Amino acid sequence: MGTPPDPSLALCARDVRKSFQIGGREIEVLHGAHLELKCGERLCLMGASGAGKSTFLHVLGLLEEPTEGEVWLQGKSAWTLSMADRAALRNRHIGFVFQAYYLLPDLSALENVVLPVRIAHSYGSVRFNKSRHEAEAAELLTKFGLGERLRHRPNQLSGGERQRVAVARALILGPEILIADEPTGNLDTGTGERVLDLILDEQRERALSLLLVTHDQRLSRRCDRTLIMEDGQIQADSTVVIPQ
Amino acid sequence: MYRRFLSWRYLLRRPINLIGVTGITVGVGALIMIISIMSGFLEESRQTVRGSLADVVVQPTILPRSDGTFVPREAEPLLEALDADPRVAAASPHLTWGAMVTQGGWDAAQTEHRIKDPDRSDLVFAQLVGVDVAREFQATDLRRALEHESEFGSRVDDVEHPFARPASYDGEEPWAWIVVGEQLAQIHDLHKGSVVNLVTAMPDSLTGKAYPSNRKYLVAGTFRTGENEIDASRIYMDRWELSDFLSDQRQYTQVLVKLVDYAAVRDTIEADLGRELHDLGLLNSARSGEVRTWESYRRSLLGAIENERALMGVMLGLIILVAAFTVFAILMMMVTEKRRDIGILTALGATRRSILSIFLMIGMWNALLGSTLGAILGVLGAWRIDQIERWLSSTFHVQIFDRTVYLFDHIPAQVSPLIVVSTVIGALFFTALFSSIPAWLASRTHPIDALRAE
Ligand SMILES: Nc1ncnc2c1ncn2[C@@H]1O[C@H](COP(=O)(O)OP(=O)(O)OP(=O)(O)O)[C@@H](O)[C@H]1O
Ligand SMILES: [Mg+2]
């Protein structure tokens, strides 16, 4: 196990390798990827389709175990922790926004947003109070322009509305890190633009460490840094610092 | 907590769970209701099956004991031991023997006719029971049987002294007096003051031959126990008179014991009393069944009903098993259907244990709702079975319970809390068992695989 990284890093990945078993053959998708996400930084990750961006994000988001390598956050090497500790870490410190929203269809928008708080309650890290947390969630949703949609179920919402609910859910517990995998990929340009504005506004307001995967060149210009992933590796020379 | 919230939500949002709940309701309800009714039948039948049997009968074997001694031929040592026993409320010695009832004079032809008729010949044979009246009144229901007013019989003049010469008798006959069963009196057309001739035979312990003896008796009156068999065949007389009739070969054959609290000692009294009396030299052996409770006399009958109840329990338990299996199938379906949700929950920080408990809880909601509803319906059904049956009969004009077949005019039911509780626990257990497989599968779901599946 390596040494703990600089505490100014919100997230740090070292030499991450990941292979999948496909039809008896082992195929390595990530060939030793590095990443350092500074606190309060907007980091954009780009790359060709199939380059392994999503896979890398899943490893960073503690959803997919790497074959090799380590992921540090909160001063801990996350993949050496027990499964339950890692789940608690994921719950409390990482917000994840997926391309396909991934809301629970049986819960209303409001209930979906409150769900992470309920889960946090089971770890004892938050004391769940239904009226207080629902009010909090309603406030967030109202801010996102969904004040009239609180009791709607996901299938009664448009794509853009669903993604805004998903963003609210990712932020409700106030995580330090927000990981977004092509959050606008399923949306038309106008709608995507608004969702993205909302994410970036929140990032600034909350001083979040944002890791964003996108195919959109214009978007990378709104980030502090852009990394390029190519064939399972972060290109060493790809770091582009774009002044605001 | 969110596990309860989510499992409950999933339950409500999937109407298919109704099938699981209904299945368990039917299984639990039917089991409780049927078992309660069978228990009712059993209890009711016990009363019928028991009849006038004493709590415990002590019947020493007269063969030599292993130490070469014999049990006393007098009843007194045994009675003394029993009287001293705190568990015993009363004890009454019986001398029981068989005899043939014949009549002389005009009635001789009648007797002959009865003996020749294969359908009636058994009616000629009677069971002679010699009793000590005072003790008998303490230990059995003889007094009530004697006091019974009936259309065929005739009460003895003095219930306290049933074998005494009735004050109303003005005949000359010198014979001893007996009391006969009401139906026996009717068969033989006996009245107060009738003379009967009892014929019996007694094996001689020395020669091994049986010597017949016969003696005339006078009928002092009749008794009615309400039990056909006894009222048609039993004759009571004084124990010393019967002993004398039997050439003093035996003084008693068994002692009927009434216990202070039968229910408290029913399972232990045979062994305990058997050992204690044997140690006192009053029984032939400690474990040869010389002490028997009424239940052990009726073991096969009671056992048959109890077996039936157990069998019914097993068969209805299968319904619960099938219902639990339905829950298993429903959960398997839900786990497949909710694969993506499992991925999402994991991504939000749910542990494997939580995923497992969510699905386990869905199963348990099914079981809890079903068994609660089933228990309520089952208990209500058992309590109201009579009304339900009458209503069904009158509405659909079919007779479900034929009241003429049974000795009771209502459908008996006895709801035992133990049965209700164990049925509910059984339903919960089997559902938990069956739910654990899909729940475990759910907990093994890889979050990313689940999310990718579309
Ligand atoms: N669970 C898996 N099993 C097998 N192969 C996988 C699995 N997950 C990803 N892969 C493979 O790994 C490679 C990288 O996939 P990944 O989804 O990370 O790419 P990506 O960079 O996110 O592409 P896109 O921009 O299209 O989203 C692909 O070739 C994919 O087929
Ligand atoms: Mg991707």
**How many Å lie between the alpha carbon of B403 and the closest alpha carbon of chain A?**
55
Nearest chain A residue (CA) to B10: A106
Q: What is residue B145's predicted lDDT score, i.e. its pLDDT? A: 87
Judge whether residue B47 has pLDDT over 80. Answer: no
CA distances to A8, B21, B264, B313, B440 from B320, in Å? 60, 11, 34, 11, 22
Calculate the dihedral angle through the C-alpha atoms of B71, B74, B76, B80, rounding to the nearest 10 degrees: 0
In a mutagenesis test of the B interface, which of A29, A55, A63 is the best target, namely the one with the most B β-carbons within 10 Å?
A: A63
- What pLDDT band is residue B227 in, cutting at 50, 70 and 90? confident
Answer yes or no: do A90 and B349 touch at CB < 8 A.
yes
Ligand 1 atom having least distance to the Cα of B452: 1
How many whole angstroms separate alpha carbon A116 and alpha carbon A168?
11
- The more confidently predicted of residues A239 and B2 is B2
CB atoms within 10 A of CB B201: 15
Band (pLDDT 50/70/90 cuts) for residue A239 is: low
CA of A94 to the centre of ligand 1 (A): 21
A110-124 pLDDT, tens digit per residue, is 999 999 999 999 998
Tell me if A202 sits within 8 A of A183, measured CB to CB: no
Higher per-residue pLDDT: B113 or B133: B133
Q: What percent of chain B has pLDDT over 70?
A: 95
CA-CA distances (angstroms) from residue A73 to A37, A91, B236?
10, 13, 100
- What are the residue ranges of helices labelled H in B348-414? 352-383, 385-396
CA–CA gap between residue A175 and residue A208 (Å, rounded):
8
CB A70 within 8 A of CB A80: yes
Ligand minimally distant from the alpha carbon of residue A29: 1
Residue B88 pLDDT > 70, yes or no?
Answer: yes
Closest chain B residue to the Cα of A83, Cα to Cα? B351
To the nearest whole percent, how much of chain A has pLDDT over 90?
83
Q: Which domains does chain A have, with CATH numbers?
A: 9-241 (3.40.50.300)
Average pLDDT, chain A: 91
Q: Please tell me the predicted confidence (pLDDT) of residue B49.
A: 76
Least confident of A17-31, B71-85, B276-290: B276-290
Token code pair at residue B66: 């292993």
Quick one: pLDDT band at residue B406, thresholds 50, 70, 90? low
Place of tokens 């230990």: B139
Average pLDDT of every residue of chain B: 87
Confidence class for position A151, pLDDT limits 50, 70, 90: very high
Task: Tell me the per-residue pLDDT of A37-50, one tens digit each, with 9 for 90 and over.
Answer: 999 999 999 999 99
Which among B347, B353, B354 has CB closest to A96? B347
Q: How many pairs of residues across A and B have Cβ atoms under 8 Å apart?
A: 67
- Residue B404, pLDDT score: 62
User: Which residues, listed in sequence order, are joined to residue A149 by a DSSP beta bridge?
Assistant: none
Task: Give the pLDDT band of residue A244 (cuts 50, 70, 90).
Answer: very low
CA separation for the pair A230, A21 (Å, rounded): 21
DSSP of A86-98: HHHHHHHHEEEE-
Q: Please list, in sequence order, all residues whose beta carbon lies within 8 angstroms of the beta carbon of residue A171, skipping any fewer than 6 positions away.
A: A95, A140, A178, A202, A206
Closest CA to B401 of B414, B382, B386: B386
Mean predicted confidence (pLDDT) in B229-238: 90
Mean pLDDT calculated for residue range B216-242 = 89
Average the pLDDT over each of B226-230, B330-334, B404-408 and give the range with the smallest value.
Answer: B404-408
Beta strands in B260-360 (DSSP E): 291-293
Q: Is B96 helix (H, G, I), strand (E, B) or coil?
A: strand
H helix or E strand, kind and range, residue B420? helix B417-443
pLDDT above 70: percentage of residues in chain A: 96
Strand, helix or coil for residue A27: strand
Asked whether the beta carbons of residue A122 and residue B2 sit closer than 8 angstroms, the reply is: yes
Please give the average per-residue pLDDT across A161-167, as a whole number. Answer: 96
Pick from B174, B246, B242: which is nearest to B213 by CA?
B246
Q: Which pLDDT score, from 0 to 100, does residue A220 have?
A: 84
Q: What is the mean pLDDT of residues B306-326?
A: 87
ipTM comes to 0.94
How far apart, in Å, are the Cα atoms of B222 and each of B111, B151, B229?
20, 11, 15
Residues of chain B in contact with residue A122, where contact means CB-CB under 8 angstroms, are 1-3, 354
- Name the strand (E) or helix (H) holding B98: strand B88-102
* DSSP-assigned letters across all residues of B236-250: EEEHHHHHHHTTTS-
Secondary structure letter of residue A79 according to DSSP: G
Task: Provide the CB-side half-sphere exposure for B232 (13 A, CA).
Answer: 9
Residue A68: φ, ψ to 5°: -145, 165
Contact B401, B443 (CB under 8 A): no
- Sort out which chain A residues have CB atoms less than 8 A from B454's CB and list them: 100
Q: Do A116 and B348 count as a contact with CB atoms less than 8 A apart?
A: yes
Residues in chain A: 244
- Report the candidate in B9, B31, B44, B58 with the shortest Cα–Cα distance to residue B297: B58
Q: For ligand 1, atom 12, name the residue with the nearest CA.
A: A29
Is residue B211 over pLDDT 90? no
**Which residue, by CA, sits nearest to atom 26 of ligand 1?**
A49
Specify whether the CB–CB gap between B263 and B50 falls below 8 A.
Answer: no
* Residue A2 burial class via C-beta count within 10 angstroms: exposed 0-12, middle 13-18, buried 19 and up: exposed
Q: Which amino acid, residue B398?
A: V
| pLDDT band at residue A243 under the 50/70/90 scheme | very low
Ligand 2 centre from A49 Cα, in Å? 7
Question: What is the Cα–Cα distance from A238 to A227, expressed in whole angstroms?
Answer: 5
Q: Is the pLDDT of residue A182 over 60?
A: yes
Q: How far apart are CA B224 and CA B232, in angstroms?
A: 9
